Amino acid sequence: MYIVRMPRLGITMESGKVGNWLCELGASIEAGKPLFEMETDKSIVEIEAQAGGILRKLLVEIGQEVAVNTPIAVIAEADEEIDLSRVDDLPAESVEGKNQATDAALHGVSATQVGTTVPPVRVSPRMRKLATDLGVDLALLAGQEITEDRIKALAAGSADSDAFIELSHIQRAMKVHIGNSWSSIPHFVQIVSVDMSKVLQLRGQLGAAGLNDILVKIVGDTAVRHPLVNGRLEGDRVRINRRANVSLAVATPKGLVVPVIRNVDALSVGAVNAAIAGLAAKARASGLEPSDTDGGTITFSNLGAYGIETGTPVINGPQATLVFAGAIIKTLVVGADDAIRIAPIMKLSIAFDHRFIDGMTAAAFTSELKARIETLDPASLG
């Protein structure tokens, strides 16, 4: 038999949880095929089965957080005689076969480390999904056989009651991270209106690259020219980042994730487009790794597609700056010659860490970013 354990995907990872089982209990499992979705603080990752056989037992509940290397499932042959009631307590050294050692080596953990967990309710993924869809707390069925009829009956009896939705692991991490950023970083926001005429003229002339790719490129190019804006406070010193690694907010069904496009200032806009497309696809397929979200130096967020014009963004600490782009609105503007015309105007709301960035330093960045967008030279995009 093979015991599936919670893997370690980064040296700082201490725990994770199963976001979703991708196979039914009792299903045939093929080595190398997706077995479950693991939720970490920053991402959702599909984990492949390291051994083939039958998924004989689930040892943790969906959404239950457990330590790295904790047994979470058992894969064995259909005719293999094992005492499933004792699997929770099996020491690592009793597990046979080289797959166990291989799994531990792949994830950087010791095959002798064991965590023990006994879930309060055992339920198939299908019943779990039904309960979630109907807003039923499965803890109310503890000790009973969990069937479709019982779940539906419980849902019917509580139709008039308030419902609760448990935060996903990503949302829980966001609660802590954003709460810390808001409470520990004194924010100030500068808002500027930007004429997007030059940018819009380039649409369709840069291959697959679009508006978002152009803006990310310009933000990165501008950030490296303003060391404090692209830096971060560490004690009584500011770390100066020589490259612009732009964190980009990406919405997924399970919450907001922020993968990093590295060395944006050294990339062409086409390369930026390819990097964003690849990371966004990984994010929406629950395939981001911890390394995909680490090392950002400035964050860019764009809600213009939803009609949002401006906002007061929260800094993605420990970074010092977040650039928020709003919707492009046709606006009456008065030119330098007092002529009135209609222009496509976008508002940028830029949040700064006021502990070490003052208003003038921020204004230098904001005004240069506005100027670069309004006087965009296609040659600068690489």
Could you tell me the end-to-end alpha-carbon distance of the chain, in angstroms, rounded to an integer? 55
184 and 42 share one domain:
no
Q: Is the pLDDT of residue 94 over 60?
A: no
CATH code of the domain in which 36 resides: 2.40.50.100
Cis, peptide link before residue 290, omega less than 30° from 0? no
Rounded-to-integer distance, Cα 17 and Cα 104, Å: 17
Predicted pLDDT of residue 196: 95
CA distance 87 to 95: 10
Among 178-182, 289-293, 310-314, name the one with the lowest average pLDDT: 289-293
From CA 219, how far away is CA 370, in angstroms rounded? 10
Residues in the chain: 382
Q: Which residue has the tokens 């050692």?
A: 101
305 inside domain: yes
Residue 35 resides in a domain: yes
pLDDT at position 132 is 82
Same domain, 100 and 219: no
Q: What is the pLDDT of residues 108-166, one digit of tens each?
A: 333 333 333 333 455 677 778 888 888 777 776 665 667 787 788 877 765 556 667 67
Lowest mean pLDDT among 108-112, 143-147, 205-209, 306-310: 108-112
CATH code (residue 305): 3.30.559.10
DSSP letters spanning 207-245: TT--HHHHHHHHHHHHHTT-TTTT-EEETTEEEPPSS--
255, two tokens: 């919450």
Q: Is residue 136 part of a domain?
A: no
* Same domain flag for 209 and 80: no
pLDDT tier at 82 (50, 70, 90 boundaries)?
Answer: low
- Tell me, yes or no, whether 202 and 283 share the same domain: yes
Beta bridge partners of 17: 39, 65
Tell me: do 176 and 60 sit in the same domain: no
Residue 129 lies in a domain: no
The residue with greater pLDDT, 135 or 99, is 135
> Does one domain contain both 339 and 214?
yes
Q: How many domains does the chain have?
A: 2
**Tokens, residue 370:** 């506005």
Q: Are residues 353 and 222 in the same domain?
A: yes
Among 64-68, 173-177, 282-286, 298-302, the range of highest mean pLDDT: 298-302
Comparison of pLDDT for 351 and 378, the residue scoring more? 351
Collapsing DSSP to helix, strand or coil, 120 comes out as: coil
Span 247-297, pLDDT tens digits: 998 887 777 889 999 999 999 999 999 999 999 888 888 788 888 999 999
Please tell me whether residue 38 adopts helix, strand or coil conformation: strand
**Cα gap 316→297, rounded to integer Å:** 9
The per-residue pLDDT for range 9-26, each reduced to its tens digit, is 765 677 888 888 888 888
Give the domain-ending residue among 119, 152, 187: 119
- What token pair was written down for 352? 């700064």
> DSSP 3-state assignment of 332?
strand
How confident is the model at residue 198, as a pLDDT? 93
Residue closest to 288 by CA, chosen among 124, 173, 209: 173
Residue 86, pLDDT > 70, answer no
Specify the pLDDT at position 141. 67
Residue 138 maps to a domain:
no
* Same structural domain, 67 and 175: no
Based on the domain organization, do 206 and 334 belong to the same domain?
yes
Percentage of the residues of the chain whose pLDDT score is greater than 70? 82
Domain around 329: 170-381
Q: Are 244 and 370 within one domain?
A: yes
- When pLDDT is cut at 50, 70 and 90, the band that residue 84 belongs to is low
Residue 181 belongs to some domain of the structure: yes
What is the C-alpha radius of gyration for the chain, rounded to an integer number of angstroms? 25
